[in-house]
């Protein structure tokens, strides 16, 4: 009962989805602390934590403007098929042949980081027409697009990981 009350307070005390995601990361790091060190810095993807906060915002009006794209394998594939993301030839060839990309390796981290950067840039552009648009909303729109398959689609990258 104490545990349930604690989670209810975490959800109801949060007004910002990113603050809730931070709380989830701090409270349950083995489930939510999706981070990597790259070139001396820490990259905080927090895909699961942001997804949980985004989903909970449906029940509790949380401000989602500070959430980023959810860097996994579906969104980069959509961005690649749209020509927004382009991979180096050798990486593209390996992805197209279904060869696994190392989890936490430079290529996987860069795919995920560039996905977030691309969504952020697209959000800025979209906000010139729809000022209230957020990166998480655009992410969700691209995720819906990923469900519609076309014969010309490039496959998503394959990576064994617990983070997506």
19 is catalytic: no
**Residue 149, CB-side half-sphere exposure with 13 Å CA sphere:** 4
Q: Please give the Cα distance from 81 to 96 (Å, whole number).
A: 12
In 49-164, beta strands by DSSP E:
none
Selected catalytic residue, list 13, 72, 96, 153: 72
Q: Which residues of 107-122 are buried (b: 16+ CB within 10 A; e: fewer)?
A: bbbebbebbbebbeeb
Instruction: Read off the tokens for 156.
Output: 């998503």
Phi-psi group of 33: left, alpha or beta (phi > 0 → left; psi -120 to 50 → alpha; rest → beta): beta
Residues with a known catalytic role: 72
């Amino acid at each position: 009962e104490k545990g349930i009350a604690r989670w209810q307070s975490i959800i109801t005390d949060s007004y910002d989805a990113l603050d809730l995601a931070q709380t989830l990361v701090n409270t349950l790091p083995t489930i939510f602390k999706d981070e990597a060190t790259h070139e001396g810095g820490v990259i905080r993807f927090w895909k699961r934590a942001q997804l949980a906060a985004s989903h909970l915002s449906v029940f509790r009006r949380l401000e989602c403007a500070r959430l980023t794209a959810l860097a996994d394998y579906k969104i980069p594939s959509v961005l690649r098929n749209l020509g927004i993301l382009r991979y180096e030839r050798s990486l593209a060839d390996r992805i197209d042949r279904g060869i696994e990309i190392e989890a936490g390796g430079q290529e996987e981290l860069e795919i995920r980081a560039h996905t977030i950067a691309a969504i952020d840039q697209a959000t800025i552009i979209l906000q010139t027409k729809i000022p209230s648009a957020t990166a998480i909303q655009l992410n969700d729109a691209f995720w819906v697009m990923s469900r519609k398959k076309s014969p010309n689609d490039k496959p998503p990258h394959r990576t064994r990981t617990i983070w997506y």
